[in-house]
Amino acid sequence: MPTAIQLKNSEKATLSNTQKTFKKLKKKIETLQQKLKRVHRDLDQCLEFYQQRIYPEKKVLISALVELVKGLYQHYKTSKQLTEEDLELFKELILDKIREILHSTSYKEVDPEIGAIFQDLEGRSLDEVAAIELENLKAEMQEMFEATGVDVDFSSIGMKDDEQGFMRKMFEAMAAAEEAFEATEEEEERCLPKNKKQKQLEQRTEELAALQNKEVKSIYKLLAKEFHPDLEQDPKEKIEKEELMKKLTCAYESNDLHALLLLKMERMNQSNNEEKIGGDEQLKVYNSILKNQVEELQDEIEVAVQNPKYSAIQVYLEEVRPSSNTLHVLRSVYSRVQQDQGYLMKINRELKGPRAKQLVQEIIQAYWHSNYEIMRF
């Protein structure tokens, strides 16, 4: 992408305020576009790291946790030395470990034996619990949106949806609700009586929007005539114009004035003279569009991690700023998963050894103390 226009010292003094604003906005957009690329690059690296390193290790960790639950349940059913109080604690401990499994995998993928253990200890099936939790989640989301005046329909989300399908349908429902809400707000605003100043502002906004569309279309039409590959005879030039036409079409469809102006400047031999781009009145229109583009890029950077594509790593990056290097967070997660995995495997081995009964007592005591500490604080 061409660099921002760099004016010579002799030219700086002749720039009007409008031209200076135009120059600053173009530089700001280029900076934000580069930042957005870095954010997406970092998130893509995190997602790749998760898929290649963390996810396989988590599967091993879950397998170790499943083995632990089965081993603990066997001792729970056969132990004759535990008091009623210890047995109750032991049951809650096993159920907590099952909830950990459910937190890391879908209900559909749970080992049938774990489902049977859960039903025996909890008195209801995993399917029943999953259905209740789904309805509670939908109700919470519904209540949250209704509090902001938005009516969202989550009825299409059901137990058969996998995690990606669930997220996709939720985003679709939220987008549809937001669109309906905005349409209602616009209708209400149209129906409200307006004073003279409001009417003038509204008229000015509409005129400016129309002018913006006109300018974007004008640049597109001008460049489309120059870039059209069918009018080029030279094979090399034809290929270049095909690429330029693709960029032009993409910029126009995205309403990306910045990209259109850069293409226009390229055809003017990358001229450093702002006046060739347009006079002050025309630049004011450009500045208005570019300001909107700056805001859109800033918003896009802030919510980049919320893209459903990154749903698997969102939980790890909730507190991370978009501008920071996010991969170190995933490396820490990877390290913790490996440590937990080694710890669980050691426990599972000992549960099959001569000190199994003593270990069960130690586990129950540790669980009691951890809950006691939580309750105290």
Residue 46 lies in a domain: no
pLDDT of residue 4: 42
Strands in the chain per DSSP E:
none
Domain range enclosing 231: 15-33+199-309
Task: Burial-class residue 262 by CB neighbours within 10 Å (0-12, 13-18, 19+).
Answer: buried
Q: Around 358, how many Cα atoms within 13 Å sit in the side-chain half-sphere?
A: 4
Segment 37-53 shows an average pLDDT of: 94
- Per the domain annotation, does 116 fall within a domain? no
Q: Is residue 229 part of a domain?
A: yes
Q: Does 190 map to a domain? A: no
Taking the model in full, what pTM does it have? 0.69
Q: Please check whether residue 261 lies inside any domain of the structure.
A: yes
Q: Is the pLDDT of residue 336 over 60?
A: yes
C-alpha 55/C-alpha 312 separation (Å) is 9
Residue range 54-64, pLDDT digits in tens: 999 999 999 99
CB 274 within 8 A of CB 21: no
Structural domain total, the chain: 1
Residue 361: partners with Cβ closer than 8 Å, 6 or more residues away? 86
Residue 133 resides in a domain: no
Dist. CA 339–CA 333, nearest whole Å? 10
Give 204-225 pLDDT, tens digit per residue. 667 666 766 777 788 788 788 7
Q: At what angle do helices 257-267 and 17-49 cross, to 10 degrees?
A: 110
Establish if 240 belongs to a structural domain.
Answer: yes
* Domain assignment of residue 271, yes or no: yes
